[in-house]
A and B are shown apart, each in its own frame.
Chain A
Amino acid sequence: SQTIHQWPATLVQPVGSPLSLECTVEGTSNPNLYWYRQAAGRGLQLLFYSVGIGQISSEVPQNLSASRPQDRQFILSSKKLLLSDSGFYLCAWGGRPYGYTFGSGTRLTVV
């Protein structure tokens, strides 16, 4: 069966520090992968998606970047965090019509 792993679960980082969040998928090959952010009091916003190794598309201009170094690995990064980067980050894989499977999320607090 397919599983998705995301870590760390929680993270507290100072402003200006770098960020690296990792997501890996098991049990499937060449998945579509996604990074979403859920900011406090707001809905879920698609940040990046990838249809294959090295292929990254950004939905929202921001302080973040994403990379896909391997077929089932998706990384979200930042060189210098801002306060506004705080939120709940979710990795997902899948596509229509079957649906999408989400990881357990990373709660990032920038202080």
Chain B
Amino acid sequence: GDSVTQMEGPVTLSEEAFLTINCTYTATGYPSLFWYVQYPGEGLQLLLKATKADDKGSNKGFEATYRKETTSFHLEKGSVQVSDSAVYFCALSEIGSGGGADGLTFGKGTHLIIQP
């Protein structure tokens, strides 16, 4: 079945550092890929997405590129801020993945801590 693998952390960085959170996936077809962010005590917010190979999703300074050849969707940001501290989830959606109504298959989440 489909699966998503990401580094779990916690990942601790200093403010203004460069961020990479790795995400790789296994899928039988051609999935859509997503990054979600969960701030403490809150639900999930869509951060960015990509629906086909070589697409780059971007939002709030974060970027991720859909790499079909390496089945990866790594999240990057050039200069992180304390307010970026959160849990980040990589996810994929494919017909039949996580449910017949094309639900999401999530990675386990990466806890990011940014220190001032």
- Measured CB to CB, the residues of A under 8 A from B are 6, 32, 34, 36, 42-44, 46, 49-51, 57, 59, 90, 92, 95-97, 99-105, 107
Contact = CB atoms under 8 A, between A and B. Distances in A.
B101 A102 contact: no
A95 B99 CA distance: 11
Contacts, number: 76
A57 B43 contact: no
A32 B51 contact: no
Contacts of A36: 104
Contacts of A107: 41
B103 interface: yes
A44 B99 contact: no
Contacts of A57: 99-101
Given A97-B32, A97-B51, A46 B44 contact: no
B25 interface: no
A43 B108 contact: yes
Contact of B99 (A43, A59, A99): A59
Interface string B25-56: 00000011010100001111110010100000
B73 interface: no
Contacts of B108: 42-43
| Of B44, B100, B106, B108, most A-chain CB atoms within 10 Å | B44
Contacts of B51: 96-97
